[in-house]
């Protein structure tokens, strides 16, 4: 940044100083200003930050000296034909910056002044400036009429003062060096107050121009920039005409007047960052270590049970803000929640009529930090503040998904652009919350209905950041997302003789990882959605399989260890000796979430040249996949509605029990029966024996 500012100051000094260079080598015609002519200014705007990523181009720019002469060789290097998608349906080429606006104002006439003092005659160039019109300009430069050249009375004009190029050169250089941002803002205000003329915005080649300009001294100020520009070039003077200057592409320095001046000022550029993160709320499972620390436990992926509360955040590194021209004019996020998730409501706020729909905008907060670790806090914004600095609105997106729009309002933008609590050093080039970190937090709940997605596909939550600077025709976006995963336990109950009654079977389910018992809502016979958890078994839900199929389905469990205990079975069958342990494990998959493919406007960070930026963040991240074991043995997880590894299944078989002998009065009748049977057998035996004997003796 310092290099650019010194370069801009040098350019301003060079242009003014060119007027005092000797012209002894010029012809008489060239050495004399033709007052019947007009002049023109042509400007090419290039991206210094991008150019410096190419070592060859950076070396050329490091030694480049602007001369005011058109340089087609430089233009060929800086506009190499590479097509850049600007994200708003327009394109630029090479290192050209499209959408920059310059304002111009003639601030003085070029005058030839002569005087004789102590027998010495002097001729010089002075600039005639209007006392009233140029007062704010002189003030911005730290000058007053006292700094004007003391012309002789015969030359003086009421309401005007005359300045040498040396005075203006030194004042501009000193002001830019001591506090370039303040000077930039003051001169931008001055141009607006004077209704200064405007160049057309730079085109796809970074070019703009103005013809038929009356001769004189002009002030040029960069007054509008597109969203990627973080630091403008400093205001500068241009004299029409100007004397040629020796430099990179000029061999006739000091030999003639140029009426058509070509300039190659540069901008520094950069983009903010965006990251979307999620974690389980500490009140549900403690996966964030039970902490309220804003970064604790957050990641691009989380697992949860249905009914669990999720903490969400998206965080950005704000871009550089160096002046009113680079100030942010739009900053906002569009958050889209998958149908399996729902923004949290607040019953008290709803009853008070404070909610937008049935959601709770007061759940949304914005926090500012000086550091990426988000430990050095600057301030917090809430909707309950006396003068809220942002708005929250809810809507419906594609396929009925709920959206939440968080927009920084005018008061918030003013604080971001101009706050004096961060960049406090004298002459600081950055203003407001430039290069600080902003974090938006809110919460949501994983649904307990058919909209939730189980398994590897996850339940995504996407956020789009949109921002603009002073040229509001240009905007850009960043996109990021995160996913919440949940799974299904499916138990199939069987009886060994296929005669048992499934409706008489009861189970309890305990999460042994987090030491709680499951509470669930029955969706249909044998199908349950987890809704919460309790500490005591007595308060846990009793799960009953489908009476026809024996299938018990528990939907919405996170990746933990579970013990399913059979607490009751049908009469005549044995209970399981031990509970069944099911472990669901989630880990990073090789699949990318594909967030780049969902980029709506062709992000500049898709350009490989941005990969070397120190603050650049890779937005793509892996998704999760799950595996399961039952009693320590691997089982294949099944897909649910096309989402793989969603369901862990197991089978429970009850066998018949042994029937014990019956005792007590109710069993005495059996002795009589047995005795009668024995007597009957004895009588039959005797009868058969006597009958056989009679037959043998012929009787």
pLDDT of residue 112: 86
The verdict on 417 and 473 lying in the same domain is: yes
The verdict on 263 and 327 lying in the same domain is: no
Residue 97 has pLDDT above 80, yes or no: yes
The verdict on 66 and 191 lying in the same domain is: yes
Q: What is the mean pLDDT of residues 586-602?
A: 70
Q: Containing domain of residue 425, as a range?
A: 275-484+596-604
Q: List the beta bridge partners of residue 318.
A: none
pLDDT of residue 642: 94
* DSSP per-residue string spanning 126-164: EEEEETTTTHHHHHHTT--GGGS----TTT--TTEEEE-
Domain CATH for 87: 2.60.40.10
The verdict on 82 and 30 lying in the same domain is: yes
The verdict on 227 and 282 lying in the same domain is: no
The verdict on 124 and 216 lying in the same domain is: yes
Helix (H) or strand (E) holding 687: helix 669-696
Residue 54 has pLDDT above 90, yes or no: no
With respect to residue 619, please indicate whether it lies within any of the assigned structural domains: no
The verdict on 633 and 680 lying in the same domain is: no
Helix (H) or strand (E) holding 121: strand 120-130
The verdict on 491 and 455 lying in the same domain is: no
Q: Look at 17-26, 187-196, 379-388, 526-535 and tell me which has the smallest mean pLDDT.
A: 17-26
pLDDT of residue 2: 35
With respect to residue 69, please indicate whether it lies within any of the assigned structural domains: yes
The verdict on 512 and 480 lying in the same domain is: no
Closest CA to 302 of 313, 315, 316: 313
With respect to residue 661, please indicate whether it lies within any of the assigned structural domains: no
Instruction: Round to whole Å and give the CA distance between 101 and 202.
Output: 7
With respect to residue 367, please indicate whether it lies within any of the assigned structural domains: yes
With respect to residue 615, please indicate whether it lies within any of the assigned structural domains: no
Most confident segment among 27-31, 155-159, 352-356: 155-159
The answer to whether the Cα torsion of 388, 392, 393, 394 is positive or negative is negative
The verdict on 473 and 364 lying in the same domain is: yes
With respect to residue 86, please indicate whether it lies within any of the assigned structural domains: yes
pLDDT of residue 615: 36
Q: In sequence order, which ranges of 154-200 are alpha helices (DSSP H)?
A: 165-193
Closest CA to 412 of 318, 292, 315, 344: 318
| Residue in the structure block whose two tokens are 């000086």 | 370
What distances in angstroms separate CA 400 from CA 336, 418, 460, 671, one per listed residue? Answer: 10, 39, 14, 77
Domain CATH for 301: 2.60.40.740
The more confident residue out of 85 and 377 is 377
Rounded to 10 degrees, what is the CA torsion of 97, 429, 325, 604?
40
pLDDT of residue 502: 95
Closest CA to 215 of 152, 128, 140, 134: 128
The answer to whether the Cα torsion of 105, 108, 109, 111 is positive or negative is negative
pLDDT of residue 359: 77
pTM for this one?
A: 0.83
The predicted-structure confidence for 627-678, as pLDDT tens digits, reads as follows: 999 999 999 999 999 999 999 999 988 887 655 555 444 545 455 555 556 6
Q: How many domains does the chain have?
A: 4
The verdict on 257 and 338 lying in the same domain is: no
Closest CA to 199 of 166, 175, 223: 223
Closest CA to 204 of 78, 50, 73, 52: 78
The predicted-structure confidence for 547-591, as pLDDT tens digits, reads as follows: 999 999 999 999 999 999 999 999 989 888 889 999 999 999 988
The verdict on 579 and 680 lying in the same domain is: no
Instruction: Round to whole Å and give the CA distance between 579 and 563.
Output: 6
Instruction: Round to whole Å and give the CA distance between 101 and 88.
Output: 17
With respect to residue 612, please indicate whether it lies within any of the assigned structural domains: no
Instruction: Round to whole Å and give the CA distance between 597 and 299.
Output: 21
Over pLDDT 90: what percentage of the chain?
Answer: 54
pLDDT of residue 680: 63
Burial class (CB in 10 A: 0-12, 13-18, 19+), 538: exposed
With respect to residue 298, please indicate whether it lies within any of the assigned structural domains: yes
């Amino acid at each position: 940044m310092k290099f650019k500012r010194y370069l801009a100051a040098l350019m301003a000094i060079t242009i003014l100083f060119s007027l005092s260079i000797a012209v002894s080598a010029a012809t008489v015609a060239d050495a004399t200003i033709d007052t019947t002519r007009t002049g023109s200014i042509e400007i090419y705007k290039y991206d210094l930050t991008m150019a410096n990523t190419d070592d060859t181009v950076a070396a050329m720019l490091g030694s480049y000296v602007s001369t005011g002469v058109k340089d087609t060789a430089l233009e060929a290097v800086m506009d190499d034909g590479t097509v850049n998608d600007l994200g708003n349906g327009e394109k630029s080429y090479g290192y050209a910056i499209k959408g920059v606006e310059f304002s111009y104002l003639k601030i003085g006439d070029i005058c030839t002044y002569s005087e004789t003092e102590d027998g010495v005659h002097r001729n010089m160039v002075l600039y005639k400036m209007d006392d009233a019109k140029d007062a704010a300009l002189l003030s911005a430069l730290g000058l007053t009429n006292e700094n004007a050249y003391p012309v002789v009375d015969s030359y003086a004009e009421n309401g005007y003062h005359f300045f040498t190029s040396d005075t203006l050169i030194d004042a501009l250089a000193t002001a830019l060096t001591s506090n370039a941002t303040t000077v930039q803002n003051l001169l931008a205000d001055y141009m607006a107050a004077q209704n200064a003329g405007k160049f057309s915005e730079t085109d796809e080649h970074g070019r703009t121009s103005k013809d038929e300009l009356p001769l004189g001294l002009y002030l040029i100020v960069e007054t509008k920039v597109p969203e990627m520009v973080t630091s403008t070039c400093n205001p500068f003077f241009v004299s029409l005409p100007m004397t040629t200057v020796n430099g990179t592409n000029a061999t006739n320095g000091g030999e003639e007047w140029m009426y058509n001046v070509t300039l190659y000022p540069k901008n520094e550029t950069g983009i903010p960052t965006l990251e979307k993160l999620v974690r389980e709320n500490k009140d549900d499972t403690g996966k964030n270590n039970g902490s309220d620390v804003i970064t604790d436990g957050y990641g691009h992926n989380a697992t949860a049970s249905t009914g669990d509360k999720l903490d969400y955040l998206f965080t950005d590194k704000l871009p550089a803000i160096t002046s009113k021209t680079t100030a942010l004019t739009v900053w906002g996020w569009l958050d889209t929640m998958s149908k399996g998730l729902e923004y949290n409501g607040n019953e008290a706020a709803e009853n008070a009529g404070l909610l937008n729909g049935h959601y709770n905008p007061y759940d949304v907060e914005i926090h500012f930090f000086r550091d990426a670790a988000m430990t050095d806090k600057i301030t917090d914004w809430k909707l309950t503040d006396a003068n809220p600095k942002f708005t929250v609105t809810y809507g419906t997106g594609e396929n009925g998904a709920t959206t939440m729009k968080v927009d920084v309002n005018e008061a918030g933008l003013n604080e971001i652009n101009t706050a004096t609590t961060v960049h406090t050093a004298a002459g600081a080039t950055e203003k407001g919350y430039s290069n600080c970190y902003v974090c938006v937090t809110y919460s949501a709940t994983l649904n307990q209905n058919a909209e939730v997605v189980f398994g590897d596909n996850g339940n995504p939550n996407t956020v789009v950041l949109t921002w603009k600077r002073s040229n509001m025709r240009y905007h850009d976006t960043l996109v990021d997302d995160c996913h919440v995963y949940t799974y299904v336990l499916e138990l199939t109950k069987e009886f060994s003789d296929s005669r048992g009654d499934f409706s008489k079977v009861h189970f309890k389910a305990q999460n042994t990882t987090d030491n709680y018992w499951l509470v669930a809502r029955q969706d249909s016979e044998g199908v349950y959605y987890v809704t919460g958890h309790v500490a005591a078994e007595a308060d846990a839900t009793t799960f009953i399989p489908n009476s026809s199929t024996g299938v018990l389905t528990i939907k919405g469990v996170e990746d933990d260890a579970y013990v399913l205990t059979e607490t009751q079975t049908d009469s005549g069958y044995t209970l399981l000796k031990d509970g069944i342990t099911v472990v669901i494990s989630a880990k990073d998959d090789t699949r990318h979430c594909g967030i780049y493919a969902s980029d709506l406007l062709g992000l500049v960070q898709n350009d490989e040249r941005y990969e070397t930026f120190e603050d650049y963040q890779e937005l793509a991240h892996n998704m999760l996949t799950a595996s399961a074991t039952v009693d320590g043995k691997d089982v294949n997880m099944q897909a649910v509605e096309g989402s793989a590894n969603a369901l862990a299944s197991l089978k429970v078989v009850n066998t018949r029990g042994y029937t014990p002998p019956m005792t007590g009065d109710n069993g005495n009748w059996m002795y009589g029966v047995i005795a009668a049977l024995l007597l009957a057998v004895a009588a039959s035996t005797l009868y058969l024996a006597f009958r056989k004997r009679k037959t043998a003796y012929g009787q």
